[in-house]
Structure formats: structure tokens, C-alpha cells
Chain A
Amino acid sequence: MTQDLQYVGQTYPVHDAPQKVTGELVYGSDIELHGMLYAKLLLSPIAHGMVTSIDSRAAEALPGVVKVFSHLNSPADVYCRARLTPEQTLCPRDETLFSEHVRFVGDRVAAVVATSQAIAEAAVALIDVQFSELPALFTPEEAQRRDDLPIHPGGNVFFEYDEECGRPGESTDAVVVGSTTSTPRIHHAALEPHVCVAQPHSTGGLTIWSISQGVYGVRTVVADLLGLEYHHVRVIKAPMGGSFGGKTEFILEPVTAYMAQKTRRPIKLLLDREECMRATMVRPATVSTIRTTCSPEGQLENMEVASVLDAGAYASSTSDYAVHMCKKITKLYRFPYYHHRSQAVYTNTPVAGAMRGWGAPEIVAALEIHMDRVAGELGMDPVELRLLNLMHPFEVDPVTEMSLGDARVRECLERGAAAFDWSARRQRSPGSGRYRRGVGVACGAHKNGMFGKFAEASNMTLKMNEDGTFELGASLHEVGCGIVTVMKVIIAEVLGVSPDLIAAGEADTSSTPFDYGTFGSRVTYVVGACAKATAEKLKEEIIAAAADLLHEPRERLTVEGGEVHVRDDGRRGVAFKDIARLSHMRHSPAITAAVTYYATSNPASYSVQFAEVEVDCATGLTAVTDFLAVGDVGQAINRGMVHAQFQGAVQMGIGYALYEHVDVDEFGRSGVDGFKNYHIVNAPDMPDIKVLLIEHSGDDGPFGAKSVGEIATVPTAPAVINAVNHALGTSLSDLPATPEKILAALNPGEVEA
């Protein structure tokens, strides 16, 4: 579908880029309020045990200390920090503000509130906490085996899900292939540490500045926990320095709000990097075993999958994560029988939860490494095998029973293979010397919002000011990828005016209408569609006002270039700014539109990625030397930022494949306490990421746009791992493929000096 678009599809900076390059933007961690106090947490040094005593007298005696909090003086009510809305399911309430029963190294034991950060830090060191240790369980296998040692009441396997569709085939000549893939616990590593600021009011209410991805969810959790009426809790989305899902869950908001309420002073709780790494959230470690049968020609027949997620010490969102791991494979490949069981298991390790892709990078890594295994067994080219089995546009996903929409994964693969020169590069010998080259491919699928699960909707208001400029009222949560700009561009396209004439800001529960937030790959597809519908309604209002002014029926009027014209009479028209000015007193004091938009579809977004690597067989180090990311994005709204999303997502995926992992030692202590021992790919190590967009605009998103930010990282890691396996002739499936694992997989005798 070719569209005649004026603003959509061009390149724009993020809306606050000028404030970011000058240092003017006040991030959450920059907020200072008059009379503000500073909090410092005391985190559990042990992995599992009971707090037997807390002596905080020395801390309380320190000048400047206002109060010390712990389970001794705070509610024992349990809550789920991932809850978005009061009646939400799959949100086990298992967490308290401060733990008496500590369940991982990093659990919140106490907090000091003081007049300065330095005093709070000094005072925390003066608190004497005694523990009685309990046996700790560090892996899902141990936790499953030792159900006599429940980390929470109810047992360690706290969630199981079973997805089955179709009927098993019984071919006699079928080829059976099995594989097991492990994906690591990794950290979001957003550059800005977690922070929350809360200010109590004499009305009994609170204002919270949150760098979360959903302010209404913060309100749900905080208000319910503190017993406040919702209209007394105002949550403002503060500018944030990156999230990637790490700030989706409300980790600091409940405890900060509680301490502010009790001290009746504004409080800032800002974590340092070590606290971020130990005590916030990680992507769950997973193990997935896949067994497929297929015809000797490569047609998939049956697929049986078992996935185990390490939830860490608290459930947060891992139950839902386990469900969604079972909803990706059938978006990619067509086969008659699918059975997927997933389990979420408590362990005494860092809390796992939301991260970019919500289960898709984990299961797609297992699937796509497995597909290369199948291709190897059959002696087929990995691209050929995939093309034989990939879904076609408008097929139905047998698991969700919804249409995949204008699903262009096959085109991604075909055009990507051509652009990457796949066939020639795959056939090239990896070499037999110290440095070996290989190429790999992987396909990935993700979704577009939450339709099918919730009443997926968004609400917006849009008004025309008296000078013909516009203001959007919407609960937007900018995480850095430019969603505010996306909304402005969509509205600009509908109204035919420059995006510069539209003001849009971020969410504030006291003044912007309800929206779930920025997650679930819902922003462009659902929130963006709401922006389009709202702009269309406002356009009708503008035409109605112009009809009054021009004494013409609406049907004769048309909008172009910031004016309303009489059709077939180019001389007669009225500019938006004159409509706004004149109609303010004559027609209506406000030209506004308010829309609730309901999503009615949830198509798949796809990405197919191609990696070339060079492995140093002497050191085991892998360099990614070339990379192509192809995206089925429907229609790019902000083209440059879509490219940049893919480039950043690939950077994250390369880390997932090769470098990043948060492991715990025999005491449950993570070896990661900062960036010095958590390797994020830096500029010299990043290849130039090429991006190819497939744009058919055949779905219900605004101008046909689909989700980008999450799908972009889904197939990266398996593409890299498959390239490593191609280079080395190995079958590595334990991520990340660190030098140690690569050297262990190689037969050293094979390496020529």
C-alpha cells in the first residue's frame, strides 16, 4: 500500500532533544524539593534468612537522621509491584515494604531517612542487623527438588502454564531433533539509576515523581498499599534515563511514598549503581528444551517445548512472562501440533521481571538455535528451512486464535538474505586457522499491544489553541525512543500542519487521561491509533467551526496546509489560526476532541536478522563484524528513530548473546556490582548495523505502523549464536557464548598455531 504522506515517515529528533543536549532537562535523579530528605536502603547481605534483631540506636543518634524504617515499624501487607490495575490477574502479592524474611542478597531490610545523602549513607552503616540464616536455593532445579524449603508459602514452583494446539502427527519417516537452550539473567543497565521522589501533602495525599513506564499502575500499587483514595495520589512521569523494562515495575515507589507519608517530608530515594545491579530487577534466566519432528524435506510436524523461568526471590511479572513465552513460536512457524509447558520458579536470587521483549528474546533464542540444529540434521540451508515453514500474511495464530495481520516475515527473510548476500557468505568456508568467520540468521516475532487479554484502549484529548496551535492531553511515558514525537507526527499528518505546532507532554494522573503506559509493544499501534482518531475528530470540529464562519455546508469543505477551503473554490478559505481566534467567541470557546480508542486487532511484528562474526579460537573472543536487521514495521512514523531503535536493540542483543550475565556465587551474591564487571558493548566494539524496513502498512495501526522497540531485539542473540556455531562447527546453546564456553566447545588440537 503506497500512501501519500507529508510528515509520517520522515526523521525527527526526540521531542526533548534540545533540553537533553544542553543539560537543561530535569531527570528524576535531578529533582530537588524544598525541605527534601534523602533515603538510603539497607539491603540484605544474605540470600535467605530471618531478621532476628535490628539495632538502629546508633544510626538514630547521628545528627541529621530523621527516621529509620524496617519491618518493625512498617506494614506487613503484601503487594505485587507489577500490578497495573486493581483486578489484574497473574500478580501474586508476595512482597512487603521491608522484609523480615529476606529472600535474596539485595532484599530491603531497612532504610534511613536523613537531611543529606551523606548522612543517610553514614547512618545505614551504623545499623546492626542480626539474621538467622535459612538454606538458600539458587537454581530452579534445586528449588523444584527442595519443595520442603519453600521460599514463599505455597511452594517454589508458583506458576505453571500449558499451551496445546493441533493434533500430533505420526509420520513414520519423521526426523526427530532435540535441543536445550539456556538464556542468562541479564540487567537492563539503563544509564540512569532507579530513583523516586515523593512529597506528602497536608490533605493526606501524595505527589510522586516516578521514572516508571506507567503512572496509573504506580497509583494502583501505592494507593492500595497505603490505603489512600486514588484521587489523593498524584503520580507524575518524570524524565528518565532509559528503562528497557527495568522501570516498568514499581520497585521504589511504594517504599518512598510510605516513608514520605510517615515523615511528612518530601523524600528522594536514589539508588547507586551497585544497588541497581543487585536490588532492582533482571531478565529471567530461562532454560527451554525443544523437541521437534519434521519430514525429511524439512516440513515441521510436531513441536514440544518445556520452559523453566527463574523468577528470583519475588514473583513480580514472571507468571505473565511464562504465559507469553508460549505465545511466540506459533506466530513464526506453521506446523500441525504444538505443546508448550512453562513454569516459573522462586529462587534466592535477584528478582526477575519485565525486560524488553517480555519472553520473546528468551524463547526465540531457544527456537532459532533449534532451527539451525534441525537444518544441520537435514543438511539444509537455514534460510531454506525457515522459508519452508514460516507463516504467510493473514494466517491465524493457532494459540491466540487471532489473525497475524499483514505478517511479512517471509519477505523480511527473502529480502534480507538477498541484501546480506546470504547464500554466498554461508557457503564460504569459515577457515581453519585462529580466526574463523561465520554467518547466522534468526527470525523473531512479537505482538502489538494487549488486545486479546485486556480491554486494550487509550484515551486522549486534543485542543486547538486560540492562535491555531495544538495541545495533546495524553498519558505518554517517554522512555527515550521518541513516543512523544511519534504522537505529534501522527497528529500533524492528520491535520496537515507541522509537528512543531503541536505540544505534547508526559503523563500526570491528575491531568492526563488514563492509559496503561509504555510497554507491551502497544504505544505506536494502540496509543498512536488513538492519537490519529483524536486528530481526526478534532479535524471534524475544525471543519464544523469553519462551516459556521464561511456559511458553507461541511461537505463542501476540505482541509489543507493549515486552512479549511471551500472545495472547488480556491479563493475561499479560512486559516486554522483564524478559525481558532474567531470561533472562540462566535462558535465555541474551545475546539477540542476527546476520544477513547479501542484496539480490535493484535497483529504480529517481525524482525529477521543476519550476523557475521569472527571468532578468535585462541582467546575465544567473538567480534560481530557485520549485521543486518530487517524489520516488518508496517510503516515507519519517525524513520530515523526506527533505524536507531534497531541499532540499539541489536547492541543489547549482542550483549545477550556474548557478554552479559548476572550469576550468583555459592552464597547467592552476584558478581556484578557495576559496569566494571557487567560488559555493555561500547562504541569501538559495535559494528555498523544496517537496517532494512519492510513497510506494507496493512494493519490497524496509525498509517499502518506496527511495533518496533521490542521486536527489534528479539532475534539478535540467536542470529549471533548461529553465526558462532557456523564459524566453529559447534552447537553452543548456553548463552552468553563467553570466551570460556567457546574455548571449552572447541577441540584445542584442532586449532592451528
Chain B
Amino acid sequence: MRLLLNVNGMEHELDVRPTARLIDVLRLQLGLTGVKEGCSEGECGACTVIVDDKAVDSCLVLAVQARGKKVLTVEGLADDDGLDLLQRMFIEHGAVQCGFCTPGMLMSAKALLMADPHPTEEAIRLALAGNLCRCTGYTTIVAAVRSASEQPAESSSTPPALDGAGRDV
């Protein structure tokens, strides 16, 4: 069936099976392999994308459910001016290790900051509750999101100094 899909600001006219999952259309038809598949049942969050301002597991929704909506994947976070603030904070806080959870983490964090630009730490942790990471223990990831939330949007082009990914006691 024919599907018009707006992904990362671009309109795509696609021929999709009615049963096609959003993740398959994004990965296989549009080549957006930044959308990762870790569990196929909405438990790990690696496939998280933003559909109309909400973080969703793209393995749990059909592509047709995104008809007429705006889909944002990790590939759409950076723009011509460079990386998104969250992406830079993830790099600078050492929040990226194997990186397989990173795209999903970024999209959940992005959806959170779109809804609540200055969340509490608890709100950050809850927003990431559906994104599993086996490498980091989440400390650096939470620190990266917090750091992004603490910066005024206009200064986003100036990277802050490194503060170390962990801390000594």
C-alpha cells in the first residue's frame, strides 16, 4: 500500500505492506540503520524514535500508524550547524560505550526535553526507564541529559568543558 511518511523533515512516498512495522520501513526501506533492533518487543528501547513529539518503540507500531505524522530518528537530530546538544553531551560525558542503546536513549531524552526542558533527575531516569543499557550503569547517560537540560538553548553551539565521565569521592 502507498504511504506518505514524513521522516526527519523529508516527505517519502513509500510502497509498504500493511503489516510492516515502522522499524522495518525505517531501516530497510529508508536505510535509517541508526534505528536499532535489540528485542523486537518494546522492552529494550533501542528502536525508539519520536513520532509527533512522543517517544515510541518503532518495533511496536505499524508504519501506517505514522501516516500524516512527523517521525524523527537519530539521523535527524543533527542539522547543518552540527550535532544536537544532547548528542554532544553524550559524547562529552562518556555516555557512549558500545553505542547500541545510544540512538534510543537520545530519542527518549529528546522527547523528554521537548516536553520538559528542565526535568528533575528522577524525571530523567523515569524517561529512560524503557531504554536498557548494559554498559554504563546509566550514570554518564543521566549526567549527559542533565547537562543538556541545564544549558540555555542559544548557547548550544559552545561545547562545555569536559567534566569527566565519572567522579571520585
By a beta-carbon cutoff of 8 Å, the part of chain A in contact with chain B is: 10-14, 16-18, 20-27, 29-30, 188-193, 239-244, 272-273, 419, 479-482, 628, 639-644, 646-652, 674-676, 680, 682-684, 686, 688-693
Contact = CB atoms under 8 A, between A and B. Distances in A.
A13 B74 CA distance: 19
Given A11-B162, A640-B164, A643-B164, A191 B38 contact: yes
Contacts of A646: 137, 166
Contact of B74 (A22, A244, A648, A683): A22
Contacts of A18: 83, 91
Contacts of B138: 647, 651, 682-683, 686
30 contacts: A16-B99, A17-B99, A20-B102, A21-B99, A22-B74, A22-B75, A25-B99, A189-B134, A190-B100, A240-B98, A241-B38, A273-B41, A419-B169, A480-B135, A481-B97, A641-B94, A643-B164, A643-B165, A644-B137, A646-B166, A647-B166, A651-B138, A674-B40, A674-B41, A675-B43, A680-B132, A683-B125, A686-B137, A686-B139, A691-B166
Across the A-B interface, give the 5 residue pairs with the lowest CB-CB distance, nearest first.
A23-B34, A643-B166, A241-B100, A640-B165, A480-B98
A177 to B, nearest CB: 33
Given A11-B94, A241-B99, A640 B166 contact: yes
Contact of A24 (B34, B133, B142): B34
A691 B168 contact: yes
A624 to B, nearest CB: 11
Given A640-B164, A651-B137, A652-B134, A683 B142 contact: yes
B46 interface: yes
B62 to A, nearest CB: 15
Contact of A22 (B87, B129, B136, B168): B87
Contacts of A648: 97, 133-137
B141 interface: yes
Interface of B: 32-41, 43-44, 46, 73-75, 77-78, 83, 87, 90-94, 96-103, 106, 122, 124-126, 128-142, 162, 164-169
B168 A693 contact: yes
Given A644-B97, A647-B166, A676-B41, A191 B142 contact: no
A190 B166 contact: no
A690 to B, nearest CB: 5
Contact of B94 (A13, A240, A693): A13
Given A29-B37, A640-B94, A21 B106 contact: yes
Contacts of A641: 94, 97, 165
Nearest to A678: B43
Contact of B164 (A11, A16, A27): A11
Among B124, B162, B166, the one with the most A-chain Cβ atoms within 10 Å of its Cβ is B166
A383 B83 CA distance: 48
| Most chain A beta-carbon neighbours within 10 Å: one of B32, B73, B77, B132 | B132
B40 A273 contact: yes
Task: Select the residue from B124, B126, B137 with max chain A CB neighbours within 10 A.
Answer: B137
Nearest to B139: A647
Contacts of A244: 134
Contacts of A17: 90-91, 96, 99
Contacts of A190: 98, 100, 134
Contacts of B126: 683-684
Nearest to A270: B37
A17 B98 CA distance: 9
A541 B4 CA distance: 61
A21 B97 contact: no
Given A628-B169, A674-B41, A686-B137, A480 B102 contact: no
Contact of B133 (A23, A188, A191, A273): A191
Contact of B134 (A11, A680, A684): A680
Nearest to B96: A17
Contacts of B103: 20-21, 23
A13 to B, nearest CB: 5
Given A20-B102, A189-B134, A692 B44 contact: no
B48 to A, nearest CB: 12
A644 B37 contact: no
Nearest to B138: A683
A640 B165 CA distance: 4
A272 B59 CA distance: 13
Contacts of B129: 682-684
A421 to B, nearest CB: 11
Contacts of A688: 139
A482 B168 CA distance: 20
